[in-house]
């Protein structure tokens, strides 16, 4: 019979939280913000193919930071959940709140019961329409779900970046201005992020059922100029 050393639950939770935070802090951060006609997601991402931002459904997008394989698995699960729900019921029954809750439950379970907590933080964004409001749900590594009113910052340096972004985003701006503010907040005062190191996606009504669009480097450059 093996011996288990007693570890106080407070200590266990602290250790796990510290472990997850460390993992998340290793990666670059991400900003999600509501602008006048849509939702902007912008991540600092040197890879052009390993995405942090993704389409989930007609009006829902996903963004994740931290360990790529872990949040990508959650992204895939989200797409499957959304397509499965839309197939079983109707496209209009696919709601970001329900998805955010499932994510929160899973992350919470992994945090307390898993071999190790997931080293990720994710954002579920929903573009409002006739039947649902525009929403940003931020879900932390331990399952805490936050309904952010106008913007959310995920990643290691989130508090600092959020502080910078908050000063420039006192009101809702058009896409170009919001993107500029977000990129400046991500970069900080003495750094400039190259356009090729940015991943940008938006949810916006353009007359199509699917509202998610990935912006190309050229489009991002033009918006930032």
Binding interface with another protein (CB under 8 A): 49, 51, 54-56, 73, 76-81, 83-88, 102-103, 105-106, 210
CA 191 to centroid of chain Cα atoms:
23
Q: Are 151 and 32 in contact (CB under 8 A)?
A: yes
Residue number with CB closer to another protein (93 or 147):
93
Residue number with CB closer to another protein (3 or 49):
49
Sheet strands (E) in 48-154: 53-57, 60-66, 120-126, 135-139, 145-148, 151-154
Residue number with CB closer to another protein (104 or 136):
104
Strand order in the sheet with 120-126: 53-57, 60-66, 120-126, 135-139, 145-148
CB of 171 to another protein, least distance (A): 33
Distance CA 41, CA 27 (A): 16
Its sign, for the CA torsion 188, 45, 217, 58, is negative
Q: Which residues contact 196 (CB under 8 A, 6 or more apart)?
A: 46, 48, 217
Distance CA 33, CA 205 (A): 16
CB of 126 to another protein, least distance (A): 16
Residue number with CB closer to another protein (18 or 205):
205
Residue number with CB closer to another protein (88 or 115):
88
CB of 219 to another protein, least distance (A): 17
Q: Alpha-carbon dihedral of residues 86, 51, 65, 104, nearest 10 degrees?
A: 10
Distance CA 112, CA 146 (A): 19
CB of 80 to another protein, least distance (A): 5
Q: Are 92 and 131 in contact (CB under 8 A)?
A: yes
CB of 84 to another protein, least distance (A): 5
Residue number with CB closer to another protein (46 or 188):
46
CB of 170 to another protein, least distance (A): 35
């Amino acid at each position: 019979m093996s011996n288990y050393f007693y570890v106080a639950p407070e200590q266990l939770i602290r250790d796990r939280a510290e472990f997850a935070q460390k993992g998340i802090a290793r990666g670059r951060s991400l900003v999600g913000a509501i602008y006048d006609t849509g939702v902007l997601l912008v991540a600092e991402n040197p890879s052009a193919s390993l995405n942090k931002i993704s389409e989930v459904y007609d009006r829902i997008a996903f963004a994740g930071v931290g360990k790529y394989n872990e949040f990508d698995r959650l992204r895939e699960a989200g797409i499957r959940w959304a397509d499965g729900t839309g197939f079983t019921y109707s496209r209009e029954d696919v709601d970001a709140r329900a998805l955010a809750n499932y994510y929160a439950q899973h992350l919470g379970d992994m945090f307390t019961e898993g071999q190790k907590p997931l080293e990720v933080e994710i954002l579920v964004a929903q573009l409002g329409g006739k039947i649902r409001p525009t929403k940003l749900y931020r879900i932390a590594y331990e399952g805490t779900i936050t309904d952010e009113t106008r913007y959310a910052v995920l990643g290691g340096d989130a508090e600092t970046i959020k502080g910078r972004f908050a000063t420039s985003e006192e009101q809702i701006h058009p896409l170009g201005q919001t993107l500029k503010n977000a990129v400046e907040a991500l970069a900080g005062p003495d750094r400039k992020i190259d356009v090729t190191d940015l991943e940008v996606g938006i949810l916006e009504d353009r007359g199509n059922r699917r509202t998610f669009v990935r912006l190309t480097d050229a489009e991002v450059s033009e918006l930032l100029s």
